[in-house]
Chains A and B, each alone.
Chain A
Amino acid sequence: MTKALARELRRLLGPQGVIDEPTRLLPYESDALALLAVPPELVLLPRDTSQTAAALRLLARHGVPVVPRGAGTGLAGGATPVAGGVVVSTARMRDVLELNVEDRFARVQAGVVNVDLTGLCQHHGLLYAPDPSSQMACTIGGNVANNSGGPHCFKYGATTRHVLGLVIVTHDGEVLDLSEPVLDPLGYDLVGTFVGSEGTLGIATEVTVRLSPAPAAIEVLLALFRSLDDACDSVTDIIAARLEPSALEILDRLTIEAVERSVFAAGYPLDSEAVLLVELEGTEIDVAAQARDVLAILERHRPIEVRRARDPVKRKQLWAGRKGAFGAMGRIAPDLYVADAVVPRTKLRELVARTVEICREANLRLATVFHAGDGNLHPNICYDRRNPEEVKRVLEAGHRILAECVAAGGALTGEHGVGLEKLAEMELYFSADDLAAACRLRDAWDPDRRMNPGKVVPSHACLEVRSARRAGTGAAP
């Protein structure tokens, strides 16, 4: 990176828009996947779409790779810097541009924090449904990049179902204004294709999101079980009975221990092997009817105890252990490898048991928290990153867990994304032709492959496409 380029970027973005001092660059070395750290040379903090576009035009002229970054809460290395590139952070793009209560949408800058948007909507009887566990810090732009989920995604769907429009700055600094909320796209669905692309197709600078009516009544049921199997079987039965809670979450024994020893203590008995949280939403009558049916299923699996809460404060208490689970695990290990995989919901019990076995065989401690209603497992493997041999075992165990989930008809990731972490496993899930098609899509958006290079699609898959083009047998954009 030349000093002249940095000077020019500072001129475009102002002194607050460029970070190049080594100490201030440190927090940008990785996202929440701390195992993969690369020191960035420069971090840019544009204030809006036009500054982002100006910066990307300049970087395009110099052929500099660009790594988009939200709050850096991603768990798959999607925001890990690349050598010779710059990180473009949306941290200074924090304005709510429009809140349209009548038409139920909001238009926000990409750096708006998820929980802030949720809070803003509440005053109007509306909600923004996606609620990733990192919602206190993660940004709406980051949620778009990762197609983030969260506990309530079971009822409301992941981010993609709530994005109505985007303003995107492309690799060469062009601005695609797709922000008007429309029922259906005219032509190809550019917005739908962009969501979940992990910063490889461009940078979203503004997001138009759908707001949903807040439910009239909510009840949380918390069931404590003597075995993890009973909790899993309860979830399978709830799904099979075609009940529709808004969230179904499970915590295992080690997580319960960690939570109870932390500031997030929720009063879970230490002799329980699993906690199942069920949240129900709707009208008063609806919630009462759902609760009756869910309780009947829970009782069949012999819970130690079922706690219920309608009052917001008490509901928050029941959720405290789940929401604080990842923070609490800091007490049981210096580092946590948060895996993310999806399995068919009929195979929850079997696959959860396999993750336990795999970690036992690798002599690793496993704390499991998962979005059971979606079949989205989060096996959290405890480790110490200063121990290279243990790190190796952790990565091997993570790979084995993913392979088992894919073999069972599941998927590599339910909400964390592919990033750098799961590049190798992409070939477990996709064929060479699948990956080549992904490369073609990427090349249509970013022919230079400078946007978040080396993420999501294994590079060699794209190289094959490139070779085919040279041979005159494939695409020639």
Chain B
Amino acid sequence: MSSPDRTATLLESALPRAAITRRPADDLLGEIPVAAPDSAEQWSEVLRLAGRERLCVLPLGLGSKLGWLRTPERLDLALSSARFHGVSAFEAADGTITARAGTTLAALSEAVSATHHLSPEIALPRASTLGGVLAAGTSGLDRLRHGPVRHQVLGITVALADGSLVKSGGRVVKNVTGYDLHRLWCGSSGTLCVLLETTLRLYPRPAREAVLEARFADRAGALERARALVRSAVQPVAVVVEEQGSEWCLSVVLSGRDEIVAHDVDEMRRGLPGSVLHEGADAQRARAELRDRERPDGTWSPLALACRPSRLARELERLDTALAGRGLRATQRIQPLLAHVDVRIEGPRERWLELDRELDGDAQRRWRSAPAELMRASGPDGRSAPELALQQRLKTALDPQGLFADGRPHGGAR
């Protein structure tokens, strides 16, 4: 491992002094230099330098998902996209936008908002960069309508460990030229490459939005109403059930053409008597608040569960039993039509590991911002040896020297 001072001195040969800072030590990482290149050439140069000097690097956006990683065994340098931002091209008539990795989701949304909607609709978009969202594979509030973040990507340019700049996909909305390497980059947690520039597809800006909120005495009632939506012709942007004090709140976001939203609102209000309707600017505010409640105090929930929709009720019961058995309590935020649950746990963290063992059912578990012991223990999750071996071969093929710190939370192959 290179000392922080030596690393900082080495960096000065590749970058201007303004691009080099020092990150104070915290719970996850020790004190390390941070390099913030502002051009593709600088990214290449820094990576080549790191390769020559056998440094171990961690790409960073704004660091909001650092807690999702396992603590890397070794780390010499963080590479920040903070100075590499901006929209390279917004093709409104073609419905695409190309931007650098350090651009915040808020900046991207604002750039297109006159004509388009940008997906993913991420919580606290001013605190999330495009590169960070893609590297973590984080989808947003609008996933039910527009799909996961990896489906929004038309092409990505990355810098590999050897400093080479590599493109996959392109800037057009349909393209099967070559391998979809960008699918590999999405969700790879910065362990294979640094994401530099991405082209996303856009969606038409809706003419009208509405948010309906209905309160229920219990979770089952809220979930039953949400499931009824599947059987109706209404196609919401988002359906969220949240635990709020002693009540459960069902929120439904609708958007689209005037006539459609008006019709859907009428239909839904018949099924949700007493619900509160937000329209116009009020709907935009309610939608943004619903989006941001995924990170109520700026943090992510430490546990996310996902399963088949038909198994959701059973998995929630399993969660209730496991929490009660360990003397833990949790606030739940459920997207029932996606069968995704964010679990904000309260109670002694040393019992979380036991909770993890108890939850070993059909649901996929993702721990993030959890105790280090749990992050280390939450492992391959039943994946087969051939799958884990292939994951490791991909890491070795694309980063043979192990330049990128391997803090994959769920990579399994270590």
What 0/1 readout, one digit per residue, does chain B (357-380) give for beta carbons within 8 Å of chain A?
Answer: 000000010100000000000001
Q: Is the CB of B387 within 8 A of A176?
A: yes
A286 pairs with B259, CB closer than 8 A: yes
- Residues facing A in B390-414 (CB within 8 A) are 390-391, 393-394, 396-398, 400, 408, 410-413
A282-B93 Cα distance, complex, nearest whole Å = 23
Q: A149-B174, A184-B139, A196-B179 are known contacts. Are A176 and B384 too (CB-CB below 8 A)?
A: yes
Of the candidates A161, A183, A376, A443, the one whose C-beta lies within 8 Å of that of B151 is A161
Specify which chain B residues have a CB less than 8 angstroms from the CB of A456 in the assembled complex: 178-179
Tell whether B285 is near chain A: CB-to-CB under 8 Å: no
Contact with B along A450-477 (1 / 0, CB 8 A): 0000001100000000000000001111
A374 to B364, CA, bound (A): 35
Question: Which B residues touch A285, using CB under 8 A?
Answer: 259-260, 263
Nearest B residue to A182 via CB reads B364
Q: Size range of the interface on A?
A: 35 or more
Residues of B in contact with A (beta carbons under 8 Å apart): 91-95, 115-116, 137, 139, 147-148, 150-151, 160, 162, 164-168, 170-181, 183-184, 186-188, 192, 204-205, 233, 256-257, 259-260, 263, 306, 308-310, 338-340, 364, 366, 380-381, 383-384, 386-387, 390-391, 393-394, 396-398, 400, 408, 410-413
Q: Is A193 within 8 A of B180, CB to CB?
A: yes
Residues of A within 8 A of B (CB): 100, 102-103, 146-147, 149, 153, 157-158, 160-161, 170, 174-178, 181-190, 192-193, 195-197, 216, 236, 239-240, 242-244, 282-283, 285-286, 289-290, 342-346, 371, 374-376, 409-418, 422, 426, 429-431, 433-438, 440-445, 456-457, 474-477
A430 touches B364 (CB 8 A): no
Q: Evaluate contact between B174 and A441: CB separation under 8 angstroms.
A: no
Q: Is the CB of B260 within 8 A of A283?
A: yes
Give the docked Cα–Cα distance between A475 and B162 (Å). 10
Q: Which residues of A contact B397 (CB under 8 A)?
A: 440-441, 443-444, 475, 477
Q: Which residues of A are found within 8 Å of B183, using beta-carbon distances?
A: 160, 189, 192-193, 195
Residues of A within 8 A of B171 (CB): 344, 409
Q: A286-B259, A437-B166 are in contact. Are A189 and B150 (CB under 8 A)?
A: yes
> How many Å lie between the Cα of A186 and that of B386 in the bound state?
14
Q: In the bound complex, what is the Cα–Cα distance between A187 and B389 (angstroms)?
A: 12
B340 touches A183 (CB 8 A): yes
User: CB distance A431 to B167 under 8 Å?
Assistant: yes
Tell whether, in the assembled complex, residue B260 and residue A176 are in contact, meaning their CB atoms are under 8 Å apart.
no
Across the interface, do A411 and B172 meet the contact criterion of CB distance under 8 Å?
Answer: yes
Note all chain B residues with C-beta closer than 8 A to A161.
Answer: 147, 151
* Chain B residues within 8 Å of A147, by CB: 176, 180
- Given A193-B183, A474-B162, verify A289-B387 contact (CB < 8 Å): no
Q: How far is the CA of A282 from the CA of B259 in the complex (A)?
A: 12
Residues B170 and A236 in contact, CB atoms below 8 Å apart = no
Once the chains are docked, how many angstroms separate the CA of A190 from the CA of B263? Answer: 41
Tell me whether B339 and A183 are in contact (CB under 8 A). Answer: yes
Taking a contact as CB atoms under 8 Å apart, the answer to whether B164 and A102 are in contact is no
Q: What are 25 A-B contacts defined by CB distance under 8 Å?
A: A100-B310, A153-B174, A160-B180, A181-B308, A184-B137, A187-B387, A187-B391, A188-B184, A189-B137, A192-B186, A193-B183, A197-B179, A239-B94, A239-B95, A242-B116, A244-B204, A286-B259, A346-B94, A371-B174, A422-B177, A429-B170, A430-B178, A433-B160, A474-B162, A475-B396
